[in-house]
Amino acid sequence: MKIAIVDYGVGNLFSIYNALHHVGGHPERISDPEELARATGVVVPGVGSFGRCMQRLAPFRRSLIEVLERGTPMLGICVGMQVLFERSEESPEEGFGWVEGRVVRLPDTLALLVPQMGWNELRIKKDAEILDGISDKDRFYFVHSYYCVPQDPSVVAATTDYGLEMTAAISRDNLSAVQFHPEKSGQKGLTILENFVRLTRC
């Protein structure tokens, strides 16, 4: 039983690896797309620009589609959530399009710093197994300049307020994703990852 962390050369995966291991998972960094077939769960992290992430993820596209179609639990984190959408204002590259909608920049007119860097509260919008044990006003660590706007509001599991209400977590079937960094969000972040580990064992 293995949770594959997709290692496509973007960002340091040390924190998410250690956090998953801490909550009882058996994570493994996977750089060979064919290895995803053996995984009982897949984590798609993301750091940096949308376009660069999509370019580096290109070799994984077919394998990730197969993972989704098999019903394997998948968790996107930060830009790993944004790439699930159709497009982003940040880059001309198309996203995977598994969630209808777009990714837009936080407006510079906000009386707040962009990028958002720091702790912010969640507002729970629907029951989702990935959010078991999480309540309104629990705080998580965000680092981002862009946010996701799903076309279908029913996929939104939680939002956060940063001068406007924006999507913080989505959940649909075996696909979950969060804009914040659970691996950097203390005990509540570990709860999210513990929920994901449990889903991989169902």
pLDDT at 129: 97
Query: Which domain range does residue 120 map to?
Result: 3-199
- Of 170, 180, 196, whose CA–CA distance to 85 is shortest? 170
78 is catalytic: yes
Tokens of 155: 């996929």
Total tally of structural domains belonging to the chain: 1
Spatial separation of the C-alpha atoms in residues 161 and 44, rounded to whole Å: 24
Crossing angle between the packed helical segments 14-22 and 186-199, to the nearest 10 degrees:
70
CATH code, 138: 3.40.50.880
> Which pTM value belongs to this model?
0.95
Return phi, psi of residue 79, to 5°.
Answer: -65, -25
Question: Which among 53, 78, 90, 144 is annotated as catalytic?
Answer: 78
90 is catalytic: no
**Cβ neighbours, 10 Å, residue 71:** 11
Which residues 6+ apart lie within 8 Å of 48 measured at CB? 10, 11, 79
- Of 148, 139, 150, whose CA–CA distance to 191 is shortest? 139
183 is catalytic: yes
Spatial separation of the C-alpha atoms in residues 14 and 173, rounded to whole Å: 28
Whether the bond into 115 is cis, omega within 30 of 0? yes
User: Rounded to the nearest 10 degrees, how much is the dihedral formed by the CA atoms of 180, 184, 185, 186?
Assistant: 170
pLDDT at 110: 67
Question: Which among 90, 148, 181, 194 is annotated as catalytic?
Answer: 181
Q: Per-residue confidence of the chain (202 residues) as pLDDT tens digits?
A: 599 999 998 777 999 999 999 999 999 999 999 999 999 999 999 888 999 999 999 999 999 999 999 999 999 999 999 999 999 999 999 999 999 999 999 988 767 788 888 999 999 999 999 999 999 999 999 999 999 999 999 999 999 999 899 999 999 999 999 999 999 999 999 999 999 999 998 7
Spatial separation of the C-alpha atoms in residues 41 and 193, rounded to whole Å: 11
Question: Which among 53, 90, 183, 194 is annotated as catalytic?
Answer: 183
